[in-house]
Amino acid sequence: MKKNLIGILALLVVGMIISIVLFNPILKNPNSYLFSLDGDAVKSYFNFSYYLNYDSGLKHDGINYPYGDHLQYINSHPLYVNILKFIDNNIINISNYGPGILNLSMIFSLILALPFLFLILRRFALPVWYSFIVALIILYLTPQFDRIHGHFEMVYAFFLPMFWYFLIRYKEDKKPLLWAGLLITSGLIGGFTSAYYAVFYTILLLAVLFVEIWINRKNLHEYKLQALYLFLIAIAPIIIVKGLVSVTDWVDDRPDNPWGFFIFHSNIFSIFLPYFSPLRNILGDPVIMNYQWEGRAYVGLPSTILAISIVLTGLYSLFTKEKLVWTKFFPNKKLNVFLAASVIVLLFSMCFPFKYGFGFLKDWIPQLKQFRALGRFSWIFYYIFTVYTAHFVYLHFKRLLIEKKKISALILMIFFLGYWSIDAGVNIKRSTRGLLNKNELLESSSVEYLRMLDDAELNPDDYQAIFFLPYANTCGDKLLFTKGMNAFSQAMKCSYHTGLPLIQSFSPRLSFTHALSSIQMLGDPAIIKSRLDDMNEKPILLLRTNEEFTQQEEWMFNNSKQLLTYQNITLSEFDLKTFEDSYMQWKETAINKIKEMGMGDGINSDTLINLIIHKDFNNLTNSPAIFNGGGAFYQKKGNHILLSEDEINNLPEGDFDVSFWLFVDTRTDNMPEVIFYKRDKDGKQLERRKWNNREEHNIYGNWVRIDETIFLSNEFDYELEVKGNYISIDDLLVQPVTSNVYIEANEGISLFNNFPIEF
């Protein structure tokens, strides 16, 4: 016990010294730096700091105005930031130091992992000096270190070793109630830091349970009570976290199918080869080695050599029937249980079996689909396999000493610790590169920023929220707008210093209704902006950066009153009544044109009817969603020809507008692909063009209007195809670009140029 205490204290001192060397400028002035200026990083800093300054409870009002969002869904460290909020309200004012607190929290969380790693190594009978060195190596080689550039809640490297250590103590059956309580408490703290930690906890314990059930398969009757206890301990935190979040959440349409489940996973190379491996260049970087960064969990060269040895020896034992040779790799029964469990988790992190013909299984446990980055689960394998490697190497080192082969033992230890230390050093160098970014976005004082606004006679209290251009937002990975990320950072700065919330949000778990109504604000004048019903009459503060604009963004800026320009940023005042005025103007123009062309049932136009194609799909009543009338086209999976060559060939040469309404189906990520083909008369494909279907602002309910202008020539054949999953399409219209078309509906919505219109 005394040796352990001395070892832990020494580790904490060394960890602090290493942190001073690595982060000295940040430790001196923690609020003066941002670890990254990337969008994810700034968003994390902003969400944390804005809440600390202006909010309370479980609601973050700084984004997604006027609705806000739940702390659990926006990487805001909900439990931790509420503790800090209590300190700020009752003990000492810390509200202006959010970035610095977050920086220090990440740095010290790394140090906090050292005692747990040390104690785990000691539980497997490794000496103090050896456990001391290995704990440092495992910590500074961890893939979590690299998350310091953006995914801040993932930097907390103490959670997984803490879960494992408490589990080891619980399995030793001494004071089981104490360790069970600590296990569940640690799982809850992790779960209320990030939902990933709750799932890490549960999947680790369930994997151990699965292995133990297999081991005790012949005497399950005796083991069943232990299994039940472990199962309840495993699921308790995730049930409590999920339950409390569900009870306190005020929206019910968050995305359940985020993009990335089949993308962001690990593979053999991401675990056993370094990211910068020259082998990737030698082999030409084949697809299997081109793994996603989320899957990186390199265990170091010694662990890789050991893994290769196990595999080769296993194959040898398989063919020679000498099983004893292979089993020598697994001398510690207690550690073997965790090792086997970690292999199961590793397979899961590789998207096995889901990616290999069993994708339907994820629908049986739909909660799994919400964790897009399966590669992160390989971190469990990382910690267990590195400890296993350290244990295995030390046993061989000890055996060589017993056999009086001191030189061989020394060479083994120097090679093992030396190369592992090099791996850890390289990881430190790469992970800490580019961290010293001056904090010019979320400074501790707002005086200078507010003085600038005051000099321009701009009072933040005169506005209800901030809207930034170019636009950036996401909608459950269905619709995605990314070019405005620089403007997003500047808008977060303005929001932080003024207290004005942002209308946009870039959270993939945001309510579909809220995300769509935000996107809709840049829709055509023909689209009624539904979000305005929940906003007040104050104008909004429009922030734009000097970047390329879309036509809708240009219109919004040109219809605003410019107030202030600094650097490459312009602040303007936008009166929300402008939206209503533009709609009424469109509606008046549309009604006048409809009257000129004459009104009646069916299609009315100011051009020849045979130049128009309209498909209302009213005869198709199997669709789960209908935009208009009595039916819509629906196909669960596959492809469909929306416009055939024969249909398009009936149209004369010229420019045509093609539009239709596509349903934003929440049962899958991404959107169905819309593909336009151009072929010569012999059928040879000349062009295959994907239409934009993810950066559209024209939204009506949960439907998005897809539109493109095409030029038709009599010399070629054309075809329009849609393919994907859960495809619902309604009201397809093809019309000459200069024409106006009015479709009066007997039931449902009347359309003018394929926009809903009401008289």
Encode pLDDT of 530-574 as tens digits.
Answer: 999 999 999 999 999 999 899 999 999 999 999 999 989 999 999
Mean pLDDT of 285-303: 75
Mean pLDDT of the chain: 91
Would you call 5 exposed, middle or buried from its count of C-beta atoms within 10 A (0-12, 13-18, 19+)?
Answer: exposed
User: What backbone torsions phi and psi does residue 69 show, to the nearest 5 degrees?
Assistant: -150, 160
Q: Which of 498, 506, 521 is nearest to 574 (CA)?
A: 521
* Range name among 239-243, 363-367, 699-703 with the lowest pLDDT average: 363-367
N- to C-terminal Cα distance for the chain?
83
Residue 209 pLDDT greater than 70, yes or no: yes
Amino acid at 287: V
Residue 180 pLDDT greater than 90, yes or no: yes
Domain boundaries, the chain: 160-254, 447-581, 599-757
In whole angstroms, what is the distance from residue 567 CA to residue 547 CA? 13
Instruction: Give the relative orientation of helices 39-54 and 78-90 as an angle to the nearest 10 degrees.
Output: 40
In whole angstroms, what is the distance from residue 374 CA to residue 262 CA? 8
- Confidence band for 262, pLDDT divided at 50, 70 and 90: low
The residue whose two tokens read 């934003």 is 664
In whole angstroms, what is the distance from residue 368 CA to residue 365 CA? 6
Residue 149: CB atoms within 10 A of its CB come to 19
Contacts of 178 (CB under 8 A, 6+ apart): none
In whole angstroms, what is the distance from residue 488 CA to residue 41 CA? 12
Tell me, what's the pLDDT at 451?
94
User: How many CA atoms lie less than 13 Å away from 178 in the CB half-sphere?
Assistant: 7
The residue whose two tokens read 């902003």 is 46
Number of residues written out for the chain: 759
Say if residues 500 and 465 touch (Cβ distance below 8 Å). Answer: yes
In whole angstroms, what is the distance from residue 259 CA to residue 376 CA? 15
Mean pLDDT of 506-512: 88
In whole angstroms, what is the distance from residue 698 CA to residue 714 CA? 31
Distances (CA, A) of 677 to 127, 601, 612, 648: 69, 34, 20, 11
Alpha helix segments (H runs only) across 432-511:
447-455, 485-498
Tell me, what's the pLDDT at 363?
66
The residue whose two tokens read 């593979």 is 267
Contacts of 8 (CB under 8 A, 6+ apart): 114, 115, 118, 119
User: Is the torsion defined by CA of 201, 207, 211, 212 positive or negative?
Assistant: positive
In whole angstroms, what is the distance from residue 617 CA to residue 515 CA? 28
Say if residues 48 and 77 touch (Cβ distance below 8 Å). Answer: yes
pTM of the model: 0.92
**SS3 state of residue 389:** helix
Q: How is the beta sheet containing 602-605 ordered, strand by strand?
A: 602-605, 741-744, 750-752, 755-757
User: How many CA atoms lie less than 13 Å away from 528 in the CB half-sphere?
Assistant: 9
Residue 251: CB atoms within 10 A of its CB come to 16
Tens digits of residue pLDDT in 723-749: 999 999 999 999 999 999 999 887 778
Contacts of 227 (CB under 8 A, 6+ apart): 209, 212, 213, 216, 220
In whole angstroms, what is the distance from residue 476 CA to residue 664 CA? 10
User: What backbone torsions phi and psi does residue 614 show, to the nearest 5 degrees?
Assistant: -135, 130
In whole angstroms, what is the distance from residue 273 CA to residue 313 CA? 20
* Range name among 478-482, 500-504, 707-711 with the lowest pLDDT average: 478-482
How far from chain centre, in Å, is Cα 369? 12
Strand ranges, E, within 37-132: 59-60, 69-70
In whole angstroms, what is the distance from residue 413 CA to residue 405 CA? 12
In whole angstroms, what is the distance from residue 664 CA to residue 517 CA? 13
Say if residues 672 and 725 touch (Cβ distance below 8 Å). Answer: yes
Report the relative pairing of strands 703-712 and 717-736 from DSSP bridges: unpaired
Residue 284 pLDDT greater than 70, yes or no: no
Alpha helix segments (H runs only) across 456-576:
485-498, 512-519, 551-558
Share of the chain above pLDDT 70, in %: 94
Say if residues 371 and 240 touch (Cβ distance below 8 Å). Answer: no
Pick the CATH number of 599-757 from 3.80.30, 1.10.3470, 2.60.120, 3.30.1490: 2.60.120
In whole angstroms, what is the distance from residue 60 CA to residue 42 CA? 16
E strand or H helix that includes residue 299:
none
User: How many CA atoms lie less than 13 Å away from 626 in the CB half-sphere?
Assistant: 16
Token pair in block for residue 90: 């009752």
In whole angstroms, what is the distance from residue 351 CA to residue 657 CA? 43
Mean pLDDT of 63-76: 92
Residue 11 pLDDT greater than 70, yes or no: yes
Mean pLDDT of 153-171: 96
Decide which of 543 and 315 is more confident: 543
E strand or H helix that includes residue 584:
helix 577-597
**SS3 state of residue 406:** helix
Q: Which of 122, 121, 158 is nearest to 142 (CA)?
A: 158
Would you call 417 exposed, middle or buried from its count of C-beta atoms within 10 A (0-12, 13-18, 19+)?
Answer: middle
Q: What is the DSSP letter of 501?
A: P
Q: What is the DSSP letter of 560?
A: S
In whole angstroms, what is the distance from residue 360 CA to residue 348 CA? 15
- Confidence band for 362, pLDDT divided at 50, 70 and 90: low
**SS3 state of residue 544:** strand
The residue whose two tokens read 């935000």 is 518
Token pair in block for residue 181: 């309580």
Report the relative pairing of strands 466-469 and 540-545 from DSSP bridges: parallel
- Confidence band for 287, pLDDT divided at 50, 70 and 90: very low
Strand ranges, E, within 633-684: 633-643, 654-663, 673-679
* Range name among 314-323, 647-656, 709-718 with the lowest pLDDT average: 314-323
- Confidence band for 334, pLDDT divided at 50, 70 and 90: very high
User: b/e string for 725-749 if b means 16 or more Cβ within 10 A?
Assistant: bbbbbbbbbbbbeebbbbbebeebe
User: How many CA atoms lie less than 13 Å away from 385 in the CB half-sphere?
Assistant: 29
Token pair in block for residue 450: 């507010």
Say if residues 180 and 170 touch (Cβ distance below 8 Å). Answer: yes
Would you call 577 exposed, middle or buried from its count of C-beta atoms within 10 A (0-12, 13-18, 19+)?
Answer: exposed
What contacts 24+ positions apart, CB below 8 Å, involve 107-111?
A: 107/19, 107/23, 107/26, 107/27, 108/19, 109/155, 109/156, 109/157, 109/158, 110/15, 110/19, 110/139, 110/145, 110/155, 110/157, 110/158, 111/12, 111/15, 111/16, 111/19
Tens digits of residue pLDDT in 85-115: 999 999 999 999 999 999 999 999 999 999 9
Residue 139: CB atoms within 10 A of its CB come to 27
Decide which of 364 and 655 is more confident: 655
In whole angstroms, what is the distance from residue 78 CA to residue 68 CA? 14
Residues forming beta bridges with residue 39, ordered by sequence position: none
